[in-house]
Structure 1
Amino acid sequence: MGATKVPKLPKITEQADPDSNPKEVAPSTDSTATPAAAPADFETAIDAAGFGMFNILLLVAAVPAAMGTVYETSTMSYILPSAECDLQLSLLDKGILNAITYAGMISSAVMWGYLADTKGRRNLLILGYAADTFCVLGGAFSQNRIQLMVFKYLGGFCMSGPFAVLMTYLTELHGRQHRQRIMMMVGIMFSIATLTLPGLAMLILPQEWDIHIWTLSLSSWQVFVAITALPSLLSFLLFFFFPESPKFLMSKGRNQEAMDAFKFMFHLNTRKPKDSFPIKLLANEVIVPEPKKHKEHKTISNEIKPPIENNNELDDPEQGTKTPELKKTSGFSQLRPLFTKPYLGLSLWVYLLNFCVLLGQNTMRLWLPQLFASINEYEQLMVVKGESGSTSICSILEYSVNRTQAQLEAATRNDPMTECHVNITASTYTNNLIVAAAGFVAYMLAGFLVNLVGVKRIMTMGLFVAGCCSIGMYWSSSAISTVAIASLFVTMGSISATSVISASVNLFPTSLRTMIVSLEMMFGRLGSLLGNIFFPALMGLGCVPPFFMVSLFMLAGCLMAAFLPLKNKAALK
């Protein structure tokens, strides 16, 4: 009986075909029609949209976006020498101004993550950059250090979203064969942004401007801060002209809007009419939460697995929009593996590693402009006095701490005999330009070196060299040697920080990678926050403690990296 049923199955399928009489021609034409009518998943549709003018315009729009994110975290380090007198800044005030942006980022990370997964990538970018523009301008018009601290905190709070979502948005608007190249392009954009900031500082901060607008008085450092708001303003305007991420739209079940986005991309890339887009139907990529659809599990056969490994969060948090209970279940189910035995110890190890690396890297990076300004001022003072004093880092730090304290005390006493004055010239920021260029070259080499040497080995070596450079500054006896050591530190630190993210991606399964990277960056920002507060506090104790602290954390990171369960053969893919 079974033998007679098997031959009947082909006959049933043949009868299902229209016009089964005409020889073999009808089945062949029907087979070509079926794929055209079959729903296409995200990867098929994004490949059909092509690569061309749309992608080029998107990358052009991403340049000011990358600049805005870098400027938000780095601007304060450049204005501290100039704003010292106007705002009566102590060493601790300078540390707080450097660190408070990270406090804002940490406090808003969860909120922005939720908004990105429920309201959309494009909307978040527009909202975030608009809000950041107002915060930066608010900081520019600040008349005291408390106002500036508040606006810098709010700026970090607003920038946390665009900072995280920019990469995701660009990834989701490119096909598989272009994604890795695009990520490298974004990295180069961030490096270029770090180069333009000291160049901008060289042009503006040495100027002795005193601009009056109504009751407000603006100096050169305030003009500098106001100009750094332009990239965020430009990003806010440009993203209006781009569509929402079709990946996000498909994961929300808004396939018609996703189709419109694909057609728009196709039209710009190929210069063909939108109606000629080859994909006519998109697959359903909405994942139905298991607690509600447990019995209907087999009916969800058209569910498409997310093709973008880095963006697994795209597919689960937002599906429970109908019932908050499902949303909670989905979030807890994603977090649960991180608190179980196979991954708990490893995840804590990675968090602590990134905490140490970014504490050392961002502390030194953000204090270098102040350090170089002190070196430049000290050398000019020695020339005026006709002395050939030692330009060792300890002499300069001692001079800087004593001068800052004396000027702060004079300002609080309103002593007319002691006027607060800081000598800022274009050469003050030349050294910063050299260090930024070294970091740019490091990023260009990072991808090649990591693939050649291996993530674990280059991370361990980089952290060891950075730790030695930090403590080696104690023996620096000239400005040239200080710049050389600082450049090597920033170079090795930036490569190591990139390698930590790469290692964490390789250590965990696809379903946990996004959550791991998010939590890892949160701990890294916490390290940046604490490091920038501890560094000036330790400067008041002497020359050795601040550099020893940075060195200690970098070498601790080196030790932890050496014991990561990661094979040296594992290169970045």
Structure 2
Amino acid sequence: MKKSSVATTSLDEKRVEDLRKSQDASKMDELADFETAVEATGFGKFNLILLLISVPTSLSQAFEQMTLSFVIPIAQCDLHLTLEDKGMLNAIAFAGMISSGFVSGYLCDFFGRRKMIIIGHTLQAFFTILASLSQTFPMLMAAKFFSGFCFNGGFSAFTSYLTEWHSSKYRGVVQLIRGTAIAFGNVVVPLLAWGILPQSIYFRLFGVLDIHSWNVFILATILAPLICASTSYFAPESPKFLMTSGRNEEALRVFRMAYSMNTGKSVESYPIKQLVDERSHMTRRKSVEKIKNSFQALKPLITPPYLYKLILVCITACFILMGNHSLKLWFPQLLQSINDYQQYNNGSSSGMCDIIDFLNEKTTTTSEACDVNLDNSSVYINAIIIGCVQIAQFTIAGFFLRLLGHRVLAGITTSISGACAIGIYFAKNSTTITALFSIFIGFFELAGNTVLTMTLEIFPTTCRTTALSFHLTMARIGSITGNMIFSKLISSGCLYPFIFCGGLAFTIPILMCFYPNLTNKALV
């Protein structure tokens, strides 16, 4: 009996000890990191609302990048544009984005995503209004420069914001959905252009401003950034940013709100009760001190282990936009030249070399010799087809992303784009040229979106938006450089532009070999 009693006591003590350990473990489980907390919110109504908000943001991006490429063929007589002027106009918005890149990244990382989304898109709308009133080439250049300058802050902030509201399970797919919205924007832009630009609109505003159809078209594009700014006003701050700033109670509140909207349950039933302290070493002080401290965000990026990764993503981003935008921003002009060539040659089609020769002959700086063909429905129809192909490519890309992963998907799509760029040179009719344009632009856009997602996952929250600013800055430098080079190459012949774009596309699969595997990895 004595032995039995001792054994029973020992067993009870063991049970008590096990219970105590399990309770301690339960308490430890309540101290959740960001990835655990955001995964616990699920995916539902709240996430769908965020994706709806991303639509006007994506349209804003499409308008900022593509508006002038449709304006240029129509406004070339009013503004007396040369080929070099056209290249500069295509590139000027990206120059503005570059100028604000690092500043907007710092402000976004240290003042919050939501504020930068609202301020950036509101100012973008203001300068778009000024662009719509432009009367000369320098006026339009200046207005679009500042429009791009302001757009960059809102774009960078929203890109980080959307990423930081989703767990690793959904992060890549969500960015692809946003890419689909951007592709949708590439359909909306030519649709809007088709409805406005061919119209014979002319009147004098205030007795001094000459307003044409292209002025009205630019003005119509302010709707997207204004809608984005107004809807974002009602959105909560990024929980990842709140946690990194030491505002865990606020982060818990927004997590609970998202959980309740997604599941239909009460906020009290959210399983996470306490968050880990993810504060950075930089404290939140007065505004001047914040800006001074924000430059410390550069330190981890320019030292190992992130220095190598930063160099890699910057080179990749530069090459992707240099190759993609060289053709993307020029294809409305090339489509217009195809349309004009057919009308001047009794509907007969031809290869790309004849089209480019015709473009060089038609470009002039004298208004007396300049004329614009407004019978150009085929230009907008072909542009819409190209946009629809992009939507289809982004729609099916989610399946291949899960199957292949980020690196392989980017490598395959850019390889196909490179082959299409070379194929455009050998194409003998407008139908084949349009088809190859569609595949080239769509797959390059898909690769760019995939690489952007990889950049967001490589770097930690404390310097994520700053790293994104480096990525976007180098991408836009590539876009500016590509546009200027492309205008020179078009002047010199028809083969070199397509060898240039194809060669850049074929370098991306090589660069992908140096990227880490990020599939289903936690956000740091």
TM-score of the aligned structures, taking structure 1 as reference length: 0.77
Q: 1:396 to 1:318 in 2, by over 3 A?
A: farther
Which segment drifts farther, 322-331 or 357-366? 322-331
- 1:130-529 alignment, distance < 5 Å: 130-174=122-166, 178-215=170-207, 216-262=209-255, 264-265=257-258, 268-269=261-262, 276=268, 278=270, 282-283=274-275, 285-287=277-279, 289=281, 331-337=298-304, 344=308, 348-383=311-346, 391-405=350-364, 408-409=365-366, 411=367, 415=368, 418=369, 420-453=371-404, 455-501=406-452, 518-529=469-480
Partner of 1:541: 492
CA distance in structure 2 between the aligned counterparts of 1:389 and 1:255, rounded to whole angstroms: 67
CA distance in structure 2 between the aligned counterparts of 1:234 and 1:451, rounded to whole angstroms: 33
CA distance in structure 2 between the aligned counterparts of 1:238 and 1:505, rounded to whole angstroms: 24
Partner of 2:3: none
Aligned partner letter, 2:159:
M
Instruction: Establish whether residue 113 from structure 1 lines up as the match of residue 80 from structure 2.
Output: no
Which segment drifts farther, 114-123 or 163-172? 163-172
Q: CA offset at residue 520 of structure 1?
A: 3.5
Partner of 2:116: 124
Q: CA offset at residue 126 of structure 1?
A: 0.4
Aligned partner letter, 2:353:
C
Indicate conservation of the 8 Å contact 1:117/1:317, yes or no: no
Indicate conservation of the 8 Å contact 1:70/1:194, yes or no: yes
CA deviation profile, 1:341-397 (whole Å, cap 9, x unmatched): xx64x75455334322321111101111110011112212222xxxx6552222221
Q: 1:447 to 1:283 in 2, by over 3 A?
A: closer
CA distance in structure 2 between the aligned counterparts of 1:265 and 1:462, rounded to whole angstroms: 35
CA distance in structure 2 between the aligned counterparts of 1:277 and 1:226, rounded to whole angstroms: 48
Q: 1:206 to 1:248 in 2, by over 3 A?
A: same
Q: Would you say how many aligned residue pairs link Structure 1 and Structure 2? A: 506
CA deviation profile, 1:250-297 (whole Å, cap 9, x unmatched): 3222344434434544565566776x46579644624353xxxxxxxx
Q: CA offset at residue 64 of structure 1?
A: 0.8
* Higher normalized contact order (CA 8 Å, seq sep 6+, divided by chain length): 2
CA distance in structure 1 between the aligned counterparts of 2:25 and 2:185, rounded to whole angstroms: 51
Q: CA offset at residue 453 of structure 1?
A: 4.5
CA deviation profile, 1:28-65 (whole Å, cap 9, x unmatched): 9x959984996655455545655544333332222111
Indicate conservation of the 8 Å contact 1:463/1:557, yes or no: yes
RMSD of aligned Cα (Å): 3.9
Which segment drifts farther, 47-56 or 163-172? 47-56
Q: 1:449 to 1:210 in 2, by over 3 A?
A: same
Aligned partner letter, 1:435:
I
CA distance in structure 2 between the aligned counterparts of 1:516 and 1:97, rounded to whole angstroms: 27
Q: CA offset at residue 445 of structure 1?
A: 3.0
CA distance in structure 2 between the aligned counterparts of 1:108 and 1:519, rounded to whole angstroms: 11
Unaligned runs of 5+ in 1: 1-12, 14-23, 290-315
Q: Secondary structure at the match of 1:231?
A: helix
CA distance in structure 1 between the aligned counterparts of 2:342 and 2:320, rounded to whole angstroms: 32
Q: 1:256 to 1:483 in 2, by over 3 A?
A: same
CA deviation profile, 1:50-109 (whole Å, cap 9, x unmatched): 554433333222211111122111111111111111211111111111111111111211
Q: CA offset at residue 210 of structure 1?
A: 1.5
Aligned partner letter, 2:247:
R
Partner of 1:8: none
Which segment drifts farther, 234-243 or 215-224? 215-224
Partner of 1:72: 64
Q: Secondary structure at the match of 1:480?
A: helix
Q: Secondary structure at the match of 2:210?
A: strand
CA distance in structure 2 between the aligned counterparts of 1:515 and 1:34, rounded to whole angstroms: 37
CA distance in structure 1 between the aligned counterparts of 2:42 and 2:389, rounded to whole angstroms: 36
Q: CA offset at residue 233 of structure 1?
A: 0.6
Indicate conservation of the 8 Å contact 1:49/1:265, yes or no: yes
Indicate conservation of the 8 Å contact 1:136/1:226, yes or no: yes
CA distance in structure 2 between the aligned counterparts of 1:240 and 1:283, rounded to whole angstroms: 26
Q: 1:259 to 1:324 in 2, by over 3 A?
A: same
Which segment drifts farther, 90-99 or 456-465? 456-465
Indicate conservation of the 8 Å contact 1:438/1:490, yes or no: no
Q: CA offset at residue 489 of structure 1?
A: 1.8
Q: 1:467 to 1:52 in 2, by over 3 A?
A: closer
Aligned partner letter, 1:531:
G
Q: 1:51 to 1:487 in 2, by over 3 A?
A: closer
CA distance in structure 1 between the aligned counterparts of 2:406 and 2:262, rounded to whole angstroms: 37
Indicate conservation of the 8 Å contact 1:288/1:319, yes or no: no
Q: CA offset at residue 452 of structure 1?
A: 3.5
Which segment drifts farther, 171-180 or 135-144? 171-180
CA distance in structure 2 between the aligned counterparts of 1:38 and 1:461, rounded to whole angstroms: 43
Aligned partner letter, 2:362:
R
Partner of 1:313: none
Indicate conservation of the 8 Å contact 1:83/1:221, yes or no: yes
Aligned partner letter, 2:64:
E
Aligned partner letter, 2:350:
T
CA distance in structure 2 between the aligned counterparts of 1:362 and 1:320, rounded to whole angstroms: 41
Indicate conservation of the 8 Å contact 1:85/1:422, yes or no: no
Q: Secondary structure at the match of 2:204?
A: strand
Q: 1:349 to 1:160 in 2, by over 3 A?
A: same
Aligned partner letter, 1:106:
I
Indicate conservation of the 8 Å contact 2:105/2:465, yes or no: no
CA distance in structure 2 between the aligned counterparts of 1:465 and 1:288, rounded to whole angstroms: 43
Partner of 2:6: none
Q: CA offset at residue 211 of structure 1?
A: 3.5
Q: Secondary structure at the match of 2:211?
A: strand
Indicate conservation of the 8 Å contact 2:105/2:466, yes or no: no
Q: 1:464 to 1:64 in 2, by over 3 A?
A: closer
Q: Secondary structure at the match of 1:287?
A: coil
Give the % identical residues.
31
Aligned partner letter, 1:352:
I
Which segment drifts farther, 439-448 or 135-144? 439-448
Q: Secondary structure at the match of 1:488?
A: helix
Partner of 2:482: 531
Instruction: Establish whether residue 82 from structure 1 lines up as the match of residue 82 from structure 2.
Output: no
